[in-house]
Chains A and B, each alone.
Chain A
Amino acid sequence: MRTIKFLLQKEFRQIFRNKSILAIIAVMPVVQLAIMPLAADYEVKNINLSVVDHDHSTYSQELVSKITASGYFRLMAYSSSFKEAMQGIESDQADIVLEIPAGFEKNLIREDEQKLFIAVNAINGTKANLGGAYVNQIIRAYNQDIRLELVQPTRMNPIPVIEITATNWFNPSMNYKVFMVPGILAILVTMVGGFLSALNIVREKEVGTIEQINVTPIKKYHFILGKLIPFWILGNVVFTVGMLVSYLLYGIVPLGNMGVLYSFIAVYLLAVLGLGLLVSTFCETQQQAMLIMFFLMMIFILMGGLFTPIESMPEWAKVVSSFNPVTYLISVMRLVILKGSGFRDILSHLGIIASFAVVLNTWAILNYRKTT
């Protein structure tokens, strides 16, 4: 116990004297939470529309104004030909081209049927898919309007119609920031814990002080605990700062219990720090440790369900993400903060993370050799 006290004293002194660590702890949560959510706005809006109107009729103009009034589209240009509009797509000035053929209005009334042509720049699949869907929705609604206008209304629907009402729960304003902030906070806690702990032991290796520690009668688990505890505390501090920042900047207040969040974070940090320690036992230089951590973090972040849902992944990728601690933290953060889930809802997550923590730390202790 006394040994640990001395180890902790030493680590804390070193941390508070290291300006780059302090900068990471103080600045990273604020910067990441201030900028990332602004950038990570995946709401599909501001779709640039280029219209080729060969008809110049009341109907064609009404349709275009319906589309631009929807809020999803920005009318970039009226082009005289499809070819000209395509140049807009090639130069990234337009995302969607709507071509209204000559005789649109006339044919619609006389022949009951008229085609419209839509070309979507589909390099970004998500945007194209939703953008295309929005145009089609608006056209369908406009079609209904015309029908109502032209057909005599009756008291009852002429044919059976199922009316669909859609409701959005937990995030009715469909605000992307609400969705992203808890996820980004999860990444932040992971990065701080992982990088700092990995670099710490490797630094002692590079400088040579670890040799001195290795000839002392200090126990392996004392040494590892002395490294874990300070960064565990720092991780909690970063998490708390992050929660405060997300409240101040975005007004996000957890629906669920803070106690549930903190108890999950407590176990989660053990797992992440264990990973950092494990990496550090494999590396000789800080450059290596940094690169390996970076590589792992990249996979964790991409496969953690921050940007795309895990359910959509193929089976092999689901298996990979089930071994990814970040997956569980992001999920728990969203469940507890946004939906108010309770302790019982996250119990299975907690169990899995606890076993990660045990495995990673045991491995790190076994792999940390005092002799070569």
Chain B
Amino acid sequence: MNDLSNRAISIKADLLTKRYGDFIAADALSFEVYKGEIFGFLGANGAGKTTAMRMLCGLSLPSSGSATIAGFDIYRETEKIKKNIGYMSQKFSLYEDLTVLENIRFYGGIYGLSDGAIKEKSEAIIARLGLQSEADKLVSALPLGWKQKLAFSVAILHQPHIVFLDEPTGGVDPVTRRQFWDLIYEAAEEGVTVFVTTHYMDEAEYCNRISIMVDGRIEALDTPHNLKQQFQADSMDDVFYKLARQAKRVDL
């Protein structure tokens, strides 16, 4: 784990910037994420996390700078990138009026999985999440925590190189959050790169490395251990507080 630099690079961002008129939502972001790494992306509300993530996923075009995702250029090869990433948005992303199985089959289908693979995958997901008796229920009938776990499983259904998670555990109880992170670890062990934004500092401790954004810029980037040393703090909470205090943008 400590010798990450020997691994292949999954995400490489170089001076990535997004402007909306005079407002600079993401300012010259440069970083690298390695294969199989769990990379945490922290920041106060409005610091620019979601903007950065949307650019990396190909949902939003950068104003300047460059980046490659799984070796593909984010300007020219967006469609190739899309085959190689999974994404779970802040808003709930499964269809509430489809059942659990129907959602899995639908996303399997549009990622081009074969019928056999879809069948195998759906059985595996349902068994892993213990949803046997819920498989034919509408997703709207599931509790939030289950929905989130299901959404994550669907996001990595097609075995992407990288999965982007935008505040995946918002509003979820601590036990379910723990279970959710177990799923993340399993995925990482299988070689999936995990790029995750969060507000929970205990979750930050689970990451291999974290970056902290303030006012659209990356102010710190290292392992949780090194960051605590660098800022002479006892916990990630303190690190975050020390950095976030400098913010000029106030979340309205």
Residues of A within 8 A of B (CB): 2-3, 5-7, 9-10, 13-14, 17-18, 207-209, 211-218, 370-372
Cβ-defined contact, B95 with A2, below 8 A:
no
Q: A6-B109, A208-B92, A215-B82 are in contact. Are A371 and B58 (CB under 8 A)?
A: yes
Tell me which residues across on chain B come within 8 A of A3, comparing CB atoms. Answer: 109-110, 112
Tell me which residues across on chain B come within 8 A of A13, comparing CB atoms. Answer: 97-98, 102
User: Which of A2, A10, A215 is in CB contact (< 8 Å) with B57?
Assistant: A215
Q: Is B83 an interface residue (CB 8 A)?
A: yes
Q: A3-B109, A6-B109, A10-B102 are in contact. Are A217 and B82 (CB under 8 A)?
A: yes
Cβ-defined contact, A5 with B109, below 8 A:
yes
Chain B, 100-125, contact with A by CB distance < 8 Å: what is the 0/1 string?
00100111011110000000000000
Cβ-defined contact, A216 with B59, below 8 A:
no
Cβ-defined contact, A211 with B109, below 8 A:
no
Cβ-defined contact, B93 with A211, below 8 A:
yes
Cα of A372 to Cα of B89 in the assembled complex, Å: 16
Smallest Cβ distance from B25 to chain A, in angstroms?
Answer: 12
Tell me which residues across on chain B come within 8 A of A18, comparing CB atoms. Answer: 97
Cβ-defined contact, B82 with A17, below 8 A:
no
What 17 new A-B contacts, CB under 8 Å, besides A217-B83, A370-B59? A3-B110, A7-B110, A9-B106, A10-B102, A14-B98, A208-B90, A208-B93, A212-B87, A213-B110, A215-B57, A215-B82, A215-B85, A215-B164, A216-B82, A217-B112, A371-B78, A372-B61
Smallest Cβ distance from A281 to chain B, in angstroms?
Answer: 16
Cα of A370 to Cα of B57 in the assembled complex, Å: 11
Least CB separation from A15: chain B residue = B97
Tell me which residues across on chain B come within 8 A of A10, comparing CB atoms. Answer: 95, 98, 102, 106
Cα of A112 to Cα of B163 in the assembled complex, Å: 101
Cα of A309 to Cα of B96 in the assembled complex, Å: 47
The 4 closest A-B CB pairs, nearest first, are A6-B109, A208-B91, A212-B93, A215-B87
Tell me which residues across on chain B come within 8 A of A217, comparing CB atoms. Answer: 79, 82-83, 111-112
User: Which of B91, B96, B98, B111 is in CB contact (< 8 Å) with A216?
Assistant: B111
Q: Is B179 an interface residue (CB 8 A)?
A: no
Chain B, 54-83, contact with A by CB distance < 8 Å: what is the 0/1 string?
100111110000000000000000110011
Tell me which residues across on chain A come within 8 A of B91, comparing CB atoms. Answer: 207-208, 211
Q: Is B29 an interface residue (CB 8 A)?
A: no
Smallest Cβ distance from A195 to chain B, in angstroms?
Answer: 19
Cα of A7 to Cα of B107 in the assembled complex, Å: 9
Smallest Cβ distance from A9 to chain B, in angstroms?
Answer: 7
Cα of A325 to Cα of B89 in the assembled complex, Å: 39
Cβ-defined contact, B89 with A211, below 8 A:
yes
Least CB separation from B91: chain A residue = A208
Q: Is B156 an interface residue (CB 8 A)?
A: no
Chain B, 176-188, contact with A by CB distance < 8 Å: what is the 0/1 string?
0000000000000
Least CB separation from A216: chain B residue = B110
Smallest Cβ distance from A206 to chain B, in angstroms?
Answer: 9
Smallest Cβ distance from A151 to chain B, in angstroms?
Answer: 83
Cα of A6 to Cα of B58 in the assembled complex, Å: 23
Tell me which residues across on chain B come within 8 A of A207, comparing CB atoms. Answer: 91-92, 96
Smallest Cβ distance from B21 to chain A, in angstroms?
Answer: 14
Least CB separation from B55: chain A residue = A371
Q: A13-B102, A209-B94, A209-B95 are in contact. Are A214 and B59 (CB under 8 A)?
A: yes
Smallest Cβ distance from B150 to chain A, in angstroms?
Answer: 13
Query: Can you list 18 A-B pairs, Cβ within 8 angstroms, ordered by A?
Result: A2-B109, A3-B110, A6-B105, A6-B106, A6-B109, A7-B110, A9-B105, A10-B102, A209-B93, A211-B93, A212-B87, A212-B94, A215-B57, A216-B107, A217-B79, A371-B59, A371-B60, A372-B59
